[in-house]
A and B are shown apart, each in its own frame.
Chain A
Amino acid sequence: MPDIFSLFQDQAEQFFKSGHTNNWAVLVCTSRFWFNYRHVANTLSVYRSVKRLGIPDSHIVLMLADDMACNPRNPKPATVFSHKNMELNVYGDDVEVDYRSYEVTVENFLRVLTGRIPPGTPRSKRLLSDDRSNILIYMTGHGGNGFLKFQDSEEITNVELADAFEQMWQKRRYNELLFIIDTCQGASMYERFYSPNIMALASSQVGEDSLSHQPDLGIGVHLMDRYTFYVLEFLEEIHPASQTNMNDLFQVCPKSLCVSTPGHRTDLFQRDPQNVLITDFFGSVRKVEITAETISLDPNLAAFESKPPKDELAAEPLKYAEQLPVAQIIHQKPKQKDWHPPGGFILGLWALIIMVFFKTYGIKHMKHIF
């Protein structure tokens, strides 16, 4: 039965199609201080989701700049809530914070990403990914156009971040990378990315503020930011076998809810977002499909696979050596200034110059010119 056989073969091909074999997550909250409770809650809620979907603590690098659960101002000690009805304690029972308080610095963050870490560093503080890893990077804090503030003392710029990702790509530290940032003017942070296989999401466009959500009178602060709140709501519906794809994630927080305009960038990504499952990044589950048939994998399969799949991108997946046109992306023309002197100005200037000239030399000297 060749038909059935080819069907199974297709399934098997599908089964092996996703290019990654392991998942990692780097979750960063960069703000200190009690009134930034919401940033810690943001990060912890993403932590909760990825952990629930199967990424183990050993594959999560969690960086929290402050400890809200134990802050003396917290009326409900040892909890961090994400909702004012107090039903979801994102602090949970089992939180493993890898980098905390003053360890959360730009340097440490970049070292984790690029793997340039002192030899004595424990495994829990390393990102031990390889070229088959899908990495989720989530960041939140206070940012501006082109930077994200770390603590109160330093900041990371979008160029630094883009270069770090490029270094990761060159060092074969990821297969695909999903970057999510919830901060003011978040879209400015992914503007400068130029390495392949990166998909990026941000809570707001350049020039926009990301807004907070869930003001809680009992705790006395805002509990979460709007964007992450709705992302969390969305992720709570996801289960390991969900077929929800990235396009659904893009729709998560429309402007009516978010007030800011969430943005995303997919031009560096090689696959169609529609074919990328949420669980490709948020989960770490291997597919299990039970079949009663015996599938003898065709030795020619490799050759078959090397042919470009018809529904996939026409382009060959990029090799490490061939980069995207970096120069083209970096050396973009600067934006034109908004304001131009009116045309009359140039004319007036010339008129003035001529006037001054004639006033100085007089009309009789015309012959010297012509």
Chain B
Amino acid sequence: MGQGWEPWGAYRAVMGLWGAYGAGPGAVGCLWGQDRSRGVHIGQGWELWGAYGAGLGTLGCLWGRARSRGVPMGQGREPWSAYGAGLGAVGCLWDRARSRGVHVGQGWEPWGAYRAVMGLRGAYGTGLGTLGCLWGRARSRGVHVGLGWEPWGAYGDGPGAVGRMWGQAGSCGVPWDTGAAWAGGGVGPQGGCGGAEPPLPVGNAPPAPQRPPPPLAAMGLLSDPYRRRALSRLVLRLNTPLCLLSYAAGLGWFLALAFPPVAPRTYMSENAMGSTMVEEQFVYGERALSYAREFAGHKKKAGGLPVAWLEKTMWNLGLEVYKQPFSRTLPFPDETRERYMVKGTNVYGILRAPRAASTESLVLSVPCSEGQHNNQAVGLMLALASYFRGQIYWAKDIIFLVNEHDLLGMEAWLEAYHDVNITEMQSSGMLGRAGAIQAAVSLELSSDVVTSFDVAVEGLNGQLPNLDLVNLFHAFCQKNGLLCTIQGKLQRSDWDTLPAYAHSLQTLLLMVLKQGSGRPQGDHGLFLRYHIEAITVRGINSFRQYKYDMSTVGKTLEGMFRKLNNLLERLHQSYFFYLLPSLSRFVSIGVYMPAFGFLILILVLKALDLWMKLSKCDASSAERLWDGDQAAVHGTAEESRPGLLTLVPPLLICHATGLTLYFLPVLGQHVATQHFPVSESEAVVLTVIAIYVAGLALPHNTHRVLTGSGSDRGWMTLKLLALLYLAMQLGCVALVNFSLGFLLAATMVPVAAAVQPTGPKYLYAVLLVLVTPAVTLLLGIFLYQELIEYPVSVLECWQLFLQAVAEGLLDHYLYGSIVFPFVAIFVYPCWLLLWNVLFWK
């Protein structure tokens, strides 16, 4: 390894870990191999992926008798060819090929470089190609793949080789590939192919049809009947292994996201904010505390938000003060917060920018909640307002908002500010405006000193603020030496140990769970709907030695507002879709989406499998008809071809159940309370659960409607439909809320792919019940409680589950969260379809 003598060697020295990782499996491969000098040269690989590929490659040699296969692989100068080599070698599991992967890494011609760009295809082709060699005795087939001068050549090689599954071809890939490569140069592909010896069927090989010369070098995979049959055979035969591999890849990919080298460090993208280059001069921590005490006194006296006092105080600070009364009757009583008919008032003051037009504004919001909670935040806000009033550099108006009844008040205020009414909120119109809101910070503080700050980013429906806002907060925390956490987890300084990895995985999982719930994790969550970047900052006072007073907290906020004030346009430079394994590392959408893609691939593969089986049935029955034995076949053909009528009833019934689940609980709560001794909210939750469980009895009911049930074709068609439907739903929701999509996919997809009316029916039934969204929610709550280190017993977990159901419904009706309708109207019916498939016979 130390012999690397060129830039890549140096690069690898930095990322040394991966080289070692690649070498590791490589050496493992030698355990049973009869090869010499394999692992040796791996160390000379000039780059990361070469070594990685070499690792995979040699894994394939477990039982092979290859010599010197992995050797030059390390010399691969590009990542993907090495990767391809890996895949290629995997195919050699039982093969006796020599020197197959060898030249793959040595491609150094212009097209090779081009292929580096399109690397995936080359590698894909190679992989497929050699996969076909599972039982073949081909030598040197893959050799020239690396020399193929264009991506399509390599690609074409794959399916070609697939066709040789049982053939004994000598170097059949070679001329074909060459032909493909030369096609662009004017030499006809037939010339290249004609040079190849036609494949000779040997021994027990099936009578493979004579392969017609490919009409075009870059022929579409599916338009060539020969290749199509080869591909279909591959999909049919390797379906289960491919699905398992894909699932493992999906989960593995997700778990790898928390690994620090995968997640790059965060950085500030917005030029206008630049750095933390600002001099904070806020020193009025004491004043903040006295405001807080005064506010607490008036709050106690008023028994709620002291509107008059707040108005007067803000007015005296020189702000334009407005209040906004609002009221809202909840669809059913909220028992956790004990509210039903809510009336409240928001008070806000606008600090006008002295030298700019009121076209843009920033918001500092403080929720005023029950009890002695959050008084310090109000105090600090007032002190900041008085300090900000004295500064002349504001280019945006600043709105200081105290909202009552937390999210409800925020919703009312935002709706009124933007003059929309999307929920049934009644509020007076808004008098004072301050232009388009560019960014908002919601502040929660409950003690005079803080030991750390926690930042909440997840908003309604899993929306996230622009990453730059989080970066800004993090940067100022670092500047002022404040501890800042995300998901309540402090970042660890080491990253290359197992506990550190587990720590960042926990943080990541917490974020996924919170985002997947679709609930706003703070008052900022509702801003995001209006494309206003917002975060909630919570001051935490735990038992640590170092504490920070109000001045430091105020300075941090001052710095952030100063920098936000410098903004020229909305925050848009950085990421909107990301996951945070720690506050200083992020995983962008391009990196995490493949994890989900692998899971969806299972559904597609399975659907393809079913489709081919179905079409094969068609073909065989058609053939039998052709034979003339019409009378005998007539009945079976009729039986095997289910009409539309057999599929429509289950679809309709499942969706009707879904719609009932969505509408009935809230509509029927009064009926339920009249007939049963329960409160309204209990009635709603219990109705939800009752309807949900009642869905399990559906197959027995649909059976009566179905005429042609019981046939294989019937359940296969239904399952095909259900799988595609599920894939579509999950794909759609993952674009909006990755976490929700991933959680549902990770649980539902494997069972959905496996379920069928034959085989261990009861095992399937248990599995299917275990992956229903409700159980996923239950397990999610359990996992969440474990992760925040507040474990709960099963009974408590059940209580939390009931609460979560009620809150899910409330979130939907109050703020427009899509999770409940999505599950009720789409995912649940789809799951019911699968349940129908299971009990088809």
Residues of B in contact with A, size category: 20 to 34
Residue of A nearest to B171 (CB): A359
Docked complex: B368-415 residues within 8 A CB-CB of A:
391-395
Docked complex: B120-140 residues within 8 A CB-CB of A:
none
Complex CA–CA separation, A77 to B394 (angstroms):
12
Q: In the complex, how many angstroms separate the beta carbon of B105 from the nearest chain A beta carbon?
A: 15
Also in contact, A72 and B147, with CB within 8 A (given A35-B566, A360-B191)? no
In the complex, identify which listed stretch (B270-278, B341-349, B627-635, B717-725) lies at the interface while the others stay far away. Answer: B270-278
Docked complex: B93-124 residues within 8 A CB-CB of A:
108-110
In the complex, identify which listed stretch (B351-359, B591-599, B782-790) lies at the interface while the others stay far away. Answer: B351-359
Q: Does A341 contact B (CB under 8 A)?
A: yes
- What residues of B have a CB within 8 angstroms of the CB of A352 in the complex? 147
**Which single member of B147, B195, B566 contacts A34 (CB below 8 Å)?**
B566
Q: Does A221 contact B (CB under 8 A)?
A: yes
**Which single member of A73, A342, A349 contacts B395 (CB below 8 Å)?**
A73
Docked complex: A50-89 residues within 8 A CB-CB of B:
70-75, 77
Q: Does A356 contact B (CB under 8 A)?
A: yes
A-B contact count (CB 8 A): 62
Also in contact, A72 and B562, with CB within 8 A (given A77-B355, A215-B277, A341-B108)? no
Q: What count of chain A residues pass the 8 Å CB interface test?
A: 25
Complex CA–CA separation, A341 to B354 (angstroms):
65
Q: Does A309 contact B (CB under 8 A)?
A: no
Q: In the complex, how many angstroms separate the beta carbon of A1 from the nearest chain B beta carbon?
A: 68
**Which single member of B110, B272, B353 contacts A341 (CB below 8 Å)?**
B110
Query: Is B279 a contact of A71 with CB atoms below 8 Å?
Result: no
Q: Does B178 contact A (CB under 8 A)?
A: yes
- What residues of A have a CB within 8 angstroms of the CB of B272 in the complex? 33-35
Complex CA–CA separation, A35 to B562 (angstroms):
13
Docked complex: B48-75 residues within 8 A CB-CB of A:
none
Complex CA–CA separation, A356 to B178 (angstroms):
9
Q: Does A217 contact B (CB under 8 A)?
A: yes
- What residues of B have a CB within 8 angstroms of the CB of A370 in the complex? none
- What residues of A have a CB within 8 angstroms of the CB of B175 in the complex? 356, 359
Q: In the complex, how many angstroms separate the beta carbon of B265 from the nearest chain A beta carbon?
A: 21
- What residues of B have a CB within 8 angstroms of the CB of A222 in the complex? 277
Q: In the complex, how many angstroms separate the beta carbon of A325 from the nearest chain B beta carbon?
A: 36
Q: Does A317 contact B (CB under 8 A)?
A: no
Also in contact, A72 and B393, with CB within 8 A (given A33-B568, A341-B110, A359-B175)? yes
Complex CA–CA separation, A154 to B271 (angstroms):
19
Q: Does B817 contact A (CB under 8 A)?
A: no
**Which single member of B277, B278, B354 contacts A72 (CB below 8 Å)?**
B354
Q: Which of B353, B355, B356, B562 has the most CB of A within 10 A?
A: B355
Docked complex: A179-219 residues within 8 A CB-CB of B:
215-218
Q: Does B565 contact A (CB under 8 A)?
A: yes
- What residues of B have a CB within 8 angstroms of the CB of A349 in the complex? 109
Q: In the complex, how many angstroms separate the beta carbon of B526 from the nearest chain A beta carbon?
A: 29
- What residues of A have a CB within 8 angstroms of the CB of B108 in the complex? 341-342, 345
Query: Is A75 a contact of B393 with CB atoms below 8 Å?
Result: yes
Complex CA–CA separation, A220 to B559 (angstroms):
10
Query: Is A359 a contact of B195 with CB atoms below 8 Å?
Result: yes
Complex CA–CA separation, A73 to B355 (angstroms):
8
**Which single member of A34, A72, A216, A356 contacts B568 (CB below 8 Å)?**
A34
Query: Is A35 a contact of B274 with CB atoms below 8 Å?
Result: yes
Residue of A nearest to B274 (CB): A35
Complex CA–CA separation, A72 to B354 (angstroms):
8
Query: Is A72 a contact of B566 with CB atoms below 8 Å?
Result: no
Docked complex: A23-64 residues within 8 A CB-CB of B:
33-35
- What residues of B have a CB within 8 angstroms of the CB of A71 in the complex? 395
Also in contact, A217 and B110, with CB within 8 A (given A72-B394, A77-B392)? no
Query: Is A220 a contact of B568 with CB atoms below 8 Å?
Result: no
Query: Is A220 a contact of B109 with CB atoms below 8 Å?
Result: no
Can you list 22 A-B contacts (CB < 8 A)? Answer: A33-B272, A35-B274, A35-B566, A35-B568, A70-B355, A72-B353, A72-B355, A72-B393, A73-B566, A75-B392, A75-B393, A77-B355, A77-B392, A215-B277, A217-B278, A218-B279, A221-B274, A341-B110, A342-B108, A345-B109, A356-B175, A360-B195
A-B contact sample (10 more), CB < 8 A, given A72-B355, A221-B277: A35-B272, A72-B394, A73-B393, A216-B277, A217-B277, A218-B279, A341-B109, A349-B109, A352-B147, A356-B178
Binding site for A on B (CB under 8 A): 108-110, 147, 175, 178, 191, 195, 271-272, 274, 277-279, 353-356, 391-395, 562-563, 565-566, 568
Binding site for B on A (CB under 8 A): 33-35, 70-75, 77, 215-218, 220-222, 341-342, 345, 349, 352, 356, 359-360
Interchain residue pairs A-B with the least CB separation, the first 9? A217-B279, A72-B355, A72-B356, A72-B395, A75-B393, A73-B395, A220-B278, A360-B195, A35-B272
